[in-house]
Structure 1
Amino acid sequence: MTGRRTSACALALVLVAGAGGLPSAPATATAPQVTVAPAAGSVGASVTVTLTGWPTGIVQLEICGNQARRGALDCATGAARQLYVADPQPLAARLAVAAPPVACPCVVRARTLTPEAVDEAVDEAATVAVTGTAPIDLTDLTAPVAPTGPGRAGLRLAGLSVVPAARDWATLLALRGEIVIDIDLRNDGTVEAGEAQLSLLTGRPGRPTSVVEATDVAPLPAGQGTTVRIVVPVDGPLYGRYAVQGRLTTMDTVGDTDAVVFEVQTERYPWGWAALAGMLILGLLVRQAVCWRRDRRPAS
């Protein structure tokens, strides 16, 4: 009887300990960074561009004038280089310095290509539209100055993370189906980014099909950032892996390639049911032990 009781207690402790953990969430995404060395050079030379913390996918590197304020209009896209980022670890690549179409201040611009722009063999669910720049001084550039005109907003995704699930039984028992996401946005443009609309899809990785009600994002002044917290409802109890795809568009967006596109994945498991099952088994074992002892008690 002692061995049986010990086994029951050990089983209950293991199950309850497992239930005490939170549903797991992915590691938070770090803001992608771009560095260039040397930070000065001449047309025809080459520099080393290092990408850190970039999402998986194809990244395009290019030399731009006018601080890339107008996007591709300021960049030497014909001499751009593309490479594949497999993980967030630092990745260094050589880039030939080409003459941008407009004068400096110049930058090396890195941007992930949207799913529509890459080969179909690349996992579309892993592609996140992100843009970053690093300054570079070109000493012999004779390109014309960029034409002046109305400023343009430069809304970009600066960070993305899944908020850890709440420490309550509703979450542990999968009674509340929702995923909370923090979206860090920054406006690198010269004018205010107007009101934006965030469209979301949720579902299993690779095939999110459930449409989430669109969310409005307030205007963002030039040079400033903000964090938008989105609560994404999920149909049914949360169990296993889930993906949330988003597209943020503003009145300044010119075509889909300028929209802020992202995807985040997480996994949730309702460990609370294991805890309840463990407590039920423990209760049945205790009841059986009491009955067994009572049956063995000598009659008076």
Structure 2
Amino acid sequence: MLRRVIVVGASLVVSALVNAIVMAPAHAADAPTTTAATDSTPSTTARVTPGKPTSNGGGPSVSLVVKEIAVGSTVSIRLSDFTAKVLTVTVCGNEGRRGSVDCNVPDAKTVEVPSDSKVFLADFIVTKPPAPCPCIIQAASDRFDEVAVAAFTLLGHPIAPVVDSGKGIIPLQVSIVAEPADDGLWARARTSLAGATWYDVTVILQNTSASVLQGAAIAVEVGRNTEDSIRDVAFPKIDDIGPRGTWRETVRLRLSSPVYGTYVWRATTTAFGLSTTATTTTKNQPTLFVVLAGIFGLAVLTLVVRLTFHLVRRLLRRRKRPAIVSPPLT
């Protein structure tokens, strides 16, 4: 019986190793979500790398052949160097400095990027933006990590001085991604045993305005839920982010054992006295730990049953003493 338990246990261990280590890490990450801006004051650490270039050169760009366009006209726009598969093209007034409030979002057009060409043309119907000019045509990816703009004159549309972001509006979008670090089979096995785990945490900030964003700060933390905080994640300082520019930084964090269940990662960025928060979750199911614990429990149970069986059998033997036969009387 004990040999069978050992054989079955070994089979389960091998199966768990294949599933939990070789196939994939026992983690799952949910899509990031972002909350609305709230009043706040800056109070954290951070750092910056140069923002992704826009239509000024070196990166994604959008250009127009005609610079003066009437409302309702169809124009051909030239898009180049986008890596995203789908783009959203829209008309914005006020140079788009206040984000989506300056753009005609309902009449935006979705454009598919061809996989066989870095440069392509797309027809676009120019509509009236909700804000006065200066006007731009903006092309952006779904996550706003690729954005390019082109300025033009919208005939018949009013022109007004540019208004920067005001109270309650923050021209900054934030997203966060947390994934277990890919450090090989031993690291995956340790994670599957609920051991200490290294995570790669990436934060992306997108300046949605057409002006330089200065003085932004970011705070990142991880906890069991949105109200809990286990660790702070230190990010380097954020320098200026250019118009439509992107700031991206990845740091590595070690969570001490036991690592199991759901963890909520929060990134809160602050600018102009306002803050916005993005969250994402990771889940660790320590499969190998559960399997080994089950095998150990089964082995202990088997041992207890066998000892109990032997003890009961010994007691029964003692009670069953042979009968004494008297010699026959003569």
TM value normalised by structure 1: 0.54
Could you tell me how far apart the structure 2 residues matched to 1:149 and 1:103 are?
13
Larger Rg computed on CA atoms: 2
**In the TM superposition, what whole-angstrom CA distance separates every residue of 1:38-68 from its partner, at most 9, and x where no partner exists?**
99753135799xxx689xxxxx986213542
Is the contact made by 1:81 and 1:95 (CA closer than 8 Å) also made in structure 2? no
Indicate how the Cα distance of structure 1 residues 211 and 279 shifts in structure 2: closer, same or farther if over 3 A, else same: closer
2:239 is aligned, of 207, 220, 232, to 220
Matches within 5 A, 1:17-28: 17-20=18-21, 21-26=24-29
Could you tell me how far apart the structure 2 residues matched to 1:262 and 1:248 are?
9
**Number of corresponding residues:** 244
Is the contact made by 1:154 and 1:190 (CA closer than 8 Å) also made in structure 2? no
Matches within 5 A, 1:105-144: 106-108=136-138, 133-135=147-149, 138=152, 140-142=154-156, 143-144=158-159
What SS is found at the alignment partner of 1:15?
helix
1:98 is aligned, of 128, 138, 150, to 128
Is the contact made by 1:200 and 1:211 (CA closer than 8 Å) also made in structure 2? yes
User: Residue in 1 aligned with 2:227?
Assistant: 209
Is the contact made by 1:195 and 1:217 (CA closer than 8 Å) also made in structure 2? no
* Paired AA for residue 226 in structure 1: R
CA deviation after TM superposition for structure 1 residue 7, in Å: 4.8
Could you tell me how far apart the structure 1 residues matched to 2:100 and 2:11 are?
64
What SS is found at the alignment partner of 2:224?
strand
Please, what is the CA RMSD of the aligned residues?
5.6
2:194 is aligned, of 174, 183, 202, to 174
**In the TM superposition, what whole-angstrom CA distance separates every residue of 1:205-255 from its partner, at most 9, and x where no partner exists?**
xxx22136485651323436331426486996422x4432332113x34x4
CA deviation after TM superposition for structure 1 residue 181, in Å: 1.8
CA deviation after TM superposition for structure 1 residue 196, in Å: 0.5
What SS is found at the alignment partner of 2:279?
strand
CA deviation after TM superposition for structure 1 residue 261, in Å: 2.9
What SS is found at the alignment partner of 2:72?
coil
Could you tell me how far apart the structure 2 residues matched to 1:149 and 1:6 are?
71
Q: Does 1:194 align with 2:215?
A: yes
Could you tell me how far apart the structure 1 residues matched to 2:93 and 2:218 are?
30
Indicate how the Cα distance of structure 1 residues 137 and 245 shifts in structure 2: closer, same or farther if over 3 A, else same: same
2:106 is aligned, of 70, 81, 88, to 81
Indicate how the Cα distance of structure 1 residues 103 and 183 shifts in structure 2: closer, same or farther if over 3 A, else same: same
Structure 1 unmatched runs, 5+:
55-59, 84-88, 113-127, 288-300
Could you tell me how far apart the structure 2 residues matched to 1:238 and 1:193 are?
39
Is the contact made by 2:194 and 2:260 (CA closer than 8 Å) also made in structure 1? yes
Could you tell me how far apart the structure 1 residues matched to 2:151 and 2:210 are?
20
CA deviation after TM superposition for structure 1 residue 176, in Å: 3.3
**In the TM superposition, what whole-angstrom CA distance separates every residue of 1:126-167 from its partner, at most 9, and x where no partner exists?**
xx9x687553565543543644999xx96443x642232451
Indicate how the Cα distance of structure 1 residues 230 and 196 shifts in structure 2: closer, same or farther if over 3 A, else same: farther
* Paired AA for residue 23 in structure 1: A
Structure 2 unmatched runs, 5+:
33-51, 53-59, 77-83, 114-123, 304-330
Is the contact made by 2:195 and 2:256 (CA closer than 8 Å) also made in structure 1? no
Instruction: Using the aligned pairs only, state the percent identity.
Output: 18
Is the contact made by 1:61 and 1:111 (CA closer than 8 Å) also made in structure 2? no
1:185 is aligned, of 205, 209, 214, to 205
Q: Does 1:10 align with 2:23?
A: no
Matches within 5 A, 1:227-238: 227-229=249-251, 231=253, 237-238=259-260
CA deviation after TM superposition for structure 1 residue 270, in Å: 1.0
